[in-house]
Amino acid sequence: MLAPSAPTRSRDDHVGDGNPCHLAHTDWLHHRLIVSDPAADIVAFRTAASGAGTIPWHLDLDRLEEDWFHLLVSPPAPQQRSLSAEGARVFAGQLRAAVSLRHELGVARVGQSRACPFDLHALVPVPAAVLRLSPDDPASLDWLWTHWGTAQALRHVAADSSHSDGEGQEGQASLPDGRIVGGDDSIFRVTFWSADWTPRRALAQIAARWPTLQLDVRPTYEAA
């Protein structure tokens, strides 16, 4: 059961051209998620949920390098060009090398690392055909919006050790409807930041796959 929480942005909100709703400048929203299972322990879900916390996109590095070059030689107003064409080409190549290395390191962790305790790609994987597209391709954004409800991987995912949500005894938590859930084997709590929206579509799929789970997600605007 996906419990109600504070109002969040709606699926019906779209940008003017009809694309899935994502803001020009990403608004990162902080959330607290409590997952409980009164019928059984939650170890299996913890295992399934952990991953690298990275979406292993295929990056078109040639296109990125060319975009960076043109941005450097023709910066948007009111900025003034400060590099020669040759210097811009060298700097764009350096940016490509740095992005390529960081991306390769991140992709190599997928399927190996369990550092992220709540990885949407581990729970609701992006299909290989979509991964071959760029992360800003309209088809990629449409898939993420449709299946996750947010257009980027979650960031700063961490086990929630806070006691600000009405906990009673150690390992217990009080949900908004007054129910007390708890015990180390029946509760899983994390905090995370999501891009622009609460990932309700991913949570709905998780709830359908794990029908005994009770999920309570709460945006925590005071953390911003």
My answer on whether 33 and 66 are in the same domain is no
Strands 155-159 and 172-174: unpaired
Q: Residue 201's pLDDT is what?
A: 96
Is the domain of 129 the same as that of 200?
Answer: yes
Quote the domain boundaries for residue 82.
Answer: 61-107
93 lies in the same domain as 174:
no
Asked whether the predicted pLDDT for residue 166 surpasses 70, the reply is no
Is residue 176 scored above 50 in pLDDT?
no
Could you tell me the pTM of the whole model?
A: 0.73
Same domain, 75 and 143: no
Quick one: 153 and 214 in the same domain?
Answer: yes
Q: Which of 74, 89, 107 is the last residue of a domain?
A: 107
Angle at CA of residue 155, ends 153 and 161, nearest 5°: 135
pLDDT at 165: 45
Do 210 and 132 share a domain, yes or no? yes
- For the chain, the C-alpha Rg in angstroms (whole number) is 20
- Give residue 18's pLDDT: 44
Q: In this structure, are 31 and 126 located in the same domain?
A: yes
Q: Residue 191: helix, strand or coil by DSSP?
A: strand
Count Cβ neighbours within 10 Å for each residue of 70-90 and write b for 16 or more, e otherwise: eebbeeeeeeeeeeeeeebbe
Do 14 and 66 share a structural domain? no
Q: HEC profile for 13-27?
A: CCCCCCCCCCCCCCC
How high is the pLDDT of residue 167? 45
Give yes or no: residues 35 and 140 share one domain.
Answer: yes
Measured CA to CA, the distance from residue 63 to residue 127 in angstroms comes to 22
Same domain, 81 and 128: no
Residues 7 and 24 in one domain: yes
- Interval 2-59: pLDDT, tens: 544 433 443 334 433 445 566 667 889 999 999 998 767 788 899 999 999 999 998 8
Domain count, the chain: 2
The tokens for 8 are 């969040």
Average pLDDT, stretch 121-126? 96
pLDDT at 49: 95
Residues 81 and 183 in one domain: no
